[in-house]
Chain A
Amino acid sequence: MKRRTRNATQSLAFFLLTICCLLIVVPVIAIIVYVATQGGGTISWQFLSEFPKNQAREGGIFPALLGSFYLMIGVVLFALPIGLLAAIYLHEYAKQNPLTRLINLSIVNLAGVPSIVFGLFGLSFFVLLLKMGSSLLAASLTLSCLVLPVVVTASREALAAVPNSYREGSLALGATKWQTIRKVVLPQAWPGILTGLVLAVSRAAGETAPLLVIGAAFSPILPNSPLSQFNAIPYHLYVVATQIPKMPKQIQWGIILVLLTMVVLFNLTAIILRIQLRARKRRWGL
């Protein structure tokens, strides 16, 4: 091939690759901008703090917002300690043997289980078998199972990034293994663990399918205990968008904007944490 045709082919190819990349990036930005312009007018303090009226055609989304908030707290309470301990086991205690390989395989597969199947699991296990009913507790536990692989994977990577010299230094000073992990390794790994947690909570905040199966309630009643019924933003949006006739469009876009804002804020937090983490890694000389 002549050099000129080769270079022309390369330019064309690079142009196409760039277009492909833009085909992903531009819609994402377009969606965010469009939702912001469509829903921006709806957002007000009243919208966030009032109860829905006239089957949510008027009024606010407070019960759904509060329900989502409780769900996120539930996920932090369940998924963080369990996911973190599991990661500590995998990185600090487990040996390289077939059993550990089995655990790793289970993490990968759990991450791939469809969210609707998690819903079926939550319904049959937490709601029916453990008799929790269609409650906040059952939904939090189901969502925690769903995001557990995210927490475990991120925490394990964060632990793996801490240089071994830190552990050796601590052990050499006579600290036990647990003291070393708690006082030396965990403080260093914290930003990475938090990044995983933030992404997990973000995912849980947007999940709809498990809530459909478990049975969230489209009602203007505030949950007052872990065992009471609840509504959540994504479920509220689903019902409003598909099951209420003559629903004003701007209310739908307003709810989407609230959901999108939460997700974008969580992702920004994760990005900032990651920048912090990178600075720390530079300090470790990695």
Chain B
Amino acid sequence: MRRASGTENQKKREGRLAGKTVVENSFFGIHPLLASPKKFSKENLIRWIITATGWITVIILTLIMLLLFTEGLPIFSTTNPFSFIFTTDWYPVSDPPVFGILSFIVGSLMVTLTALVIAVPIGVAASAFLAEIATPTLREIIKPIIELLAGLPSIVLGFIGFLLLAPVVQNAFHLSTGLNGLTAGIMLAFICLPTIVSISEDSLSAVPKEYKEAAYALGATKWQTIRRVLIPAARSGIMASVMLGVGRAIGETMVVLMVAGGRLALPNFITDPLSAMTGRIAIEINNAVFGGLQYQALFAMGIVLFLMTLAVNIIADLVLEKQRRRYA
């Protein structure tokens, strides 16, 4: 890659020596085709197609934002944005309808927090085990299993929580129903564990060998090295893994839809049945009239959800970039 651009620079230099101006294909890489139609060749056509496709992810992300905003923002002409986010009354089909999503924001945050309380210690411990203690053979066995967990359809986890975990939680805490925030949080922990484990393990493995060697040379045990040297050195990567785990948990739909209980009121305690934003959208969107107020409100809830995950992901990316630069 770097070599290739090196030869391009050389070509440019030669061109300049021969008194020619070489058009640098700087912006979008489509410049040469536009600048000199004579050079229109198969090679240029392919370069053009590939460059255009290279932007597809940016295009999709932009389209998602554009559509969420055009479908969701009109709700704020009838509902004040402040009361939309900070009130708890949600009566989408009464006349006039009332839209306040605070209960669902709190519900989403509560189950996500529960999931984190469970998943972060277990996930970081498991990543330390995989990175430092497990033998290579053991690692080869465990890592595919964790990848399999990442690949399990969330509806399967939702179903397991619905049929198997809910009765257990109900009996253990003497609740009126097992379908509540706690059960959902436990199942969500399994959703974000693979992310936390794999990214934490990557960042633990990325700590330079010298750190470990220096700790051993000072007489530290392996455990002391892990706890006092490796985990602090990898902390930004671990932080990023937690952020990405938050994104996973907050955006998960099927588990909260099937397991969280679906009560509309503001949850006081984690063992209350509750609704999360994702589940609310999934359950109501099919009853909403396209373009109607309820439809707009659900899209506006989608905007809130989208912005939350976007923020979490951008922070995670910045943190990871920082770590990459430090140990590069």
Contacts and interface: CB of A to CB of B under 8 A. Distances in A.
Chain A interface residue bracket vs B = 35 or more
B66 to A, nearest CB: 9
B125 A20 contact: yes
Contacts of B290: 128
B281 A23 contact: no
Contact of A25 (B60, B142, B312, B314): B142
A186 to B, nearest CB: 12
Given A108-B317, A208-B254, A17 B126 contact: yes
A85 B50 contact: yes
Among B42, B61, B278: residue with most chain A CB under 10 A: B61
Given A105-B317, A168-B3, A203 B151 contact: yes
B64 interface: yes
A173 B299 CA distance: 56
Contacts of A88: 50
Contact of B125 (A21, A31, A177): A21
A21 to B, nearest CB: 4
Contact of B282 (A125, A202, A213): A213
Given A24-B122, A85-B53, A117-B306, A6 B221 contact: yes
B154 interface: yes
A286 interface: no
Interface in B1-50: 1, 3-5, 27-29, 42-43, 46-47, 49-50
Contacts of A119: 281-282, 285
A contact patch SS: helix
Given A82-B56, A178-B46, A209 B68 contact: no
B309 interface: yes
Contacts of B27: 99
Interface string B242-264: 00100100111110011000000
A148 B290 CA distance: 27
B60 A148 contact: yes
A43 interface: no
Nearest to B134: A21
B183 to A, nearest CB: 14
Given A116-B278, A121-B63, A148 B57 contact: yes
Contact of B285 (A111, A112, A123, A238): A123
A108 B253 CA distance: 20
Given A18-B133, A125-B67, A89 B51 contact: yes
Contacts of A167: 4
B309 A113 contact: yes
Contacts of A176: 43
A178 B144 contact: no
Contacts of A28: 145-146, 148-149, 152
Interface string B277-291: 010011001100010
Contact of A241 (B144, B148, B162, B252): B162
Contacts of A202: 151
Contacts of B227: 13
Interface in A213-264: 213, 215, 234, 237-238, 241-242, 252, 256, 259-260, 263-264
Given A10-B222, A95-B5, A120-B68, A17 B133 contact: yes
B193 interface: yes
A151 to B, nearest CB: 10
A93 interface: yes
Point out which of B46, B134, B314 has the most chain A C-beta atoms below 10 A from its C-beta.
B46
Interface in B296-323: 298-299, 302, 305-306, 309-310, 312-314, 316-317
Contacts of B5: 95
B224 A18 contact: no
Interface of A: 6-7, 9-10, 13-14, 16-18, 20-21, 23-25, 27-29, 31, 34-35, 82, 85-86, 88-95, 99, 102-103, 105-121, 123-125, 128-129, 145, 148-149, 152, 160, 164, 167-168, 176-178, 199, 202-203, 205-209, 212-213, 215, 234, 237-238, 241-242, 252, 256, 259-260, 263-264, 266-267, 270-271
Given A106-B58, A113-B64, A114-B305, 7 more contacts: A93-B50, A103-B54, A110-B60, A148-B60, A206-B155, A209-B278, A238-B258
